[in-house]
Structure 1
Amino acid sequence: MSHGLLFLLALTGELIAIASQNGSIYLFRVSRDGFSYKKSNKIRGAQPLMQLDWSSDSSFLQTVTADYDLSYCTYMQRSERFEYVVSLRFEYLFSGDVKSLSPEKSPIAMKDVKWYTHNATVGFMVSGMWNNRFYPMTSIISTASRSAAHDLLVSGDTDGYIRYPCINPKAEYNEEKVYSGTVACARFLFNDRNVVTVGGTDASLMLWQLVEE
């Protein structure tokens, strides 16, 4: 496996998915309270994977590539293998606006899937942060994270801005400019009271606290 891996444990604690920069997803079965990992399966891809999420029932994975292609695959428990469900391509104008969504298969079945985490920067549930009416989209969103309570969404973009809007495109938001370039990663901590962000080029690590205004 190449460098640049994404590790994500399923809600059940029995499976761990590893997304690689070579486009492949590796599935490992976890045992002995997390001390033992056995490779179960692998699904090959062609594009570097940037984000990865498990569904709440551990039946589906969603991934986002470096080209902002969103793919869903289902985990077949009996055979312990993956199968692709649908792949979507989000095409962007230079302004960053969503131009079109071209499904290879019908994606409607995936719209109501409940996700244990939501780190994907594109998808049905996070479309509001791409076309929020209160700010011009002149950059590309590079990272996102949904809170555990499912009521907040933090995002970072390629110009170094950090926002935590909700899913509604009409929602107001808080914004900070603290990075000189791309925000590489932003994540809520377990209590939803803090957010950790990492810069891409300046590599600075920051801890944020959410406070009531």
Structure 2
Amino acid sequence: MDSETREVYSMHTDGGEPIQVARFSPDGGFLALGSRDNNIYVYQVSEEARKYSRVGRCSGHSSFITHLDWSADSQFLQSNSGDYELLYWNASLCRQITQSSELRDVEWASNTCTLTFNTIGIWPEGADGTDVNQSERSHDARLLATADDFGKVKLYSYPAAYPKSLCHTYGGHSSHVTNVGFLHDDSRLISTGGRDTSVMQWMLV
């Protein structure tokens, strides 16, 4: 839909459950949709984002999709699900890559998935998998921010690849933090609250 004229460019229906997460590929050529029906739907984007053609469905998760990330070259996806799986996909073929070692040198355009080899250190001891709601890597790939159920925003050096990685912890929200994201120039971090429905800006100095 055009945000100004409200013209509807395209309408599609996939599955019978809500879409949980949507991510455009870095080159703008694909759109990946993670659904609560456990599948990821991939669309090819053309005609200046006016036309969306379904490429296929990535099927393999046993629970709903929670997070998605594209590789920097727009060829691969990594995804998390509600039962704490981490799976990898060839996006254009919608085929699961079962040997994670094949992607060891892949550069990821983002790191919103909370369960990856680069985010092992964000999980506190005894965590049940639901404590960290979101992670986000800065655009310069130096920092990793997280939002958790304890009302805290945490800042790590990226990657946080070792257990109990050191971090700076910041408070401000009165309940769980649902999301975090860096501005395009990494000058500020934006966090959103759950029950307190607040949006906060954090200056990076």
* Fold-level similarity (TM above 0.5): yes
Matches of 1:130 and 1:200 in 2, distance apart?
20
2:147 partner SS: strand
Matches within 5 A, 1:166-205: 166=157, 167-168=159-160, 169=162, 172-205=166-199
Aligned to 1:209: 203
The separation in 2 between residues aligned to 1:124 and 1:172, in whole angstroms, is 16
Three-state SS of the structure 1 residue aligned to 2:156 is coil
> For each residue in 1:123-150, what CA deviation from the matched residue of structure 2 results, as whole angstroms up to 9, or x when unmatched?
111222226xxxx666722210001111
| Counterpart for residue 102 of structure 2 | 109
Q: What are the residue-to-residue correspondences of 1:1-213 with 2, within 5 Å?
A: 1=14, 2-44=17-59, 45-76=61-92, 81-86=93-98, 106-130=99-123, 140-166=131-157, 167-168=159-160, 169=162, 172-211=166-205
TM-superposed CA distance for 1:158, in Å, is 1.4
Letter of the structure 2 residue corresponding to residue 22 of structure 1: D
Q: Deviations over 1:24-56 (max 9, x none)?
A: 111111112122222221223431111100011
* CA root-mean-square deviation: 2.1
Take 1:137 and 1:159, find their aligned partners in 2: how far apart are those partners?
Answer: 14
- Gaps spanning 5+ residues in structure 2: where? 1-13
In structure 2, relative to structure 1, the CA distance for the partners of 1:138 and 1:23 (3 Å cut) is: closer
Point out where structure 1 has 5 or more consecutive residues left out of the alignment: 87-105
Distance 2:19 2:49 in 1: 22
Give 1:123's aligned amino acid: T
Question: Aligned partners of 1:25 and 1:137: how far apart in 2?
Answer: 30
Judged with a 3 Å threshold, the aligned counterparts in structure 2 of structure 1 residues 51 and 138 are, in CA distance, closer, same or farther, namely closer
- Are the counterparts in 2 of residues 141 and 156 from structure 1 also a CA contact under 8 Å? yes
* Separation (CA, whole Å) in 2 of partners of 1:11 and 1:48: 24
CA drift of 1:112 comes to 2.2
Instruction: Supply the distance in 1 between the matched residues of 2:109 and 2:22 (Cα, whole angstroms).
Output: 14
TM-score by length of 2: 0.80
- Preserved contact between residue 42 and residue 91 of structure 2 (Cα < 8 Å): no
Structure 1 CA distance for aligned equivalents of residues 126 and 168 of structure 2:
15
Equivalenced residues, count = 184
SS at match of 2:78: strand
Deviations 1:54-86 (A, max 9, x none): 01111210111122211111124xxxx311113
**Secondary structure in 1 aligned to 2:91?**
strand
